[in-house]
Structure 1
């Protein structure tokens, strides 16, 4: 078997000379790069996934300006939120393929946006992470804004009421 300068391989098989061009070596690195790009596109992974999990509402803070009454807010105690790469669900609303947009807020911006200081709802004043959830199939009205209080506590806002949720599980159960 011999290879010439153009990449052709010549060899004899039962008295017949066969010439073939081996393309694979030339495209080996391109194929590998293509495979890595495809795999990277398939695994759309958020950098900050602290909000992923199953969460249960256990407390709320209802300022006087809230649209929801304290009685309605109290009925939300025990509601469940599920946030993963594939689903965002809060109480009786859900969306598939959610997008999570993270942004940092300072005290001034939080107070300006929500009419109260972050400490009034249990958030640390120096580091506020807001997560806005976007849905491609169905808008998520409830539970579409999250604030990270700590690794095991989220706060969500709905109709002016801040609901505190504690982590129930790190590995979410499938939505039914």
Structure 2
């Protein structure tokens, strides 16, 4: 029986390669930036809207929850939602929403629009999110821009009533 000596360098290389393969093969589910529970903290009425300021202010404190299995939008649950992500430059945003980005505290750079679709194709508040990660997030409804802040309390899905 013949023995072949293994150098320390070869042993370390083999161990390193094994660890690297393990890390690459492990699938980690990193949540999307929009996943979680969000609370309405401000309402901006840029012009003509379907709501009065008083109606819009009644949304303050309401929460909306988003994840891959379920979205809780107002009093409606959306099971197995699908999310579509679109990047909007300044011109596209201005054309679509007729409001300047700085009025909503968006910084320079692209704005991400997240469109949520439920299996019954119904329209409900919270299906459109506008965001710049770590800057600001809004949901739009009836011409009003509702600023959202991510909640730290993820114990249970929020149920909002509007």
TM-score range, shorter chain: 0.7 to 0.9
- Who is 1:157 aligned against? 140
Match of 1:122 among 102, 105, 110: 105
1:48, 1:106 → 2: CA distance?
A: 24
2:45, 2:80 → 1: CA distance?
A: 30
Pairwise CA distance, 1:65:
1.7
Work out whether residues 149 and 155 of structure 1, in 8 Å CA contact, stay in contact via their aligned partners in 2. no
Residues 112/155 of structure 1: CA separation in 2 closer, same or farther (3 Å cut): same
RMSD of the TM alignment (CA)? 2.3
1:71, 1:115 → 2: CA distance?
A: 22
- Who is 1:98 aligned against? 81
Higher relative contact order (CA closer than 8 Å, sequence separation 6+): 2
Unaligned 5+ runs, structure 1: 1-39
- Could you give the per-residue CA deviations for residues 72-131 of structure 1, whole angstroms, max 9, x where no partner exists? 000000110100011112222221111110010011111101111122112223120000
Alignment of 1:9-158 (within 5 A): 49-137=32-120, 139-151=122-134, 153-158=136-141
Unaligned 5+ runs, structure 2: 1-26
2:157, 2:31 → 1: CA distance?
A: 21
1:65, 1:123 → 2: CA distance?
A: 21
2:118, 2:45 → 1: CA distance?
A: 26
Pairwise CA distance, 1:149:
3.2
1:109, 1:56 → 2: CA distance?
A: 27
Higher strand share: 1
- Could you give the per-residue CA deviations for residues 59-78 of structure 1, whole angstroms, max 9, x where no partner exists? 11111222211110000001
Work out whether residues 53 and 84 of structure 1, in 8 Å CA contact, stay in contact via their aligned partners in 2. yes
If the length of structure 2 is used for normalisation, what is the TM-score? 0.72
If the length of structure 1 is used for normalisation, what is the TM-score? 0.67
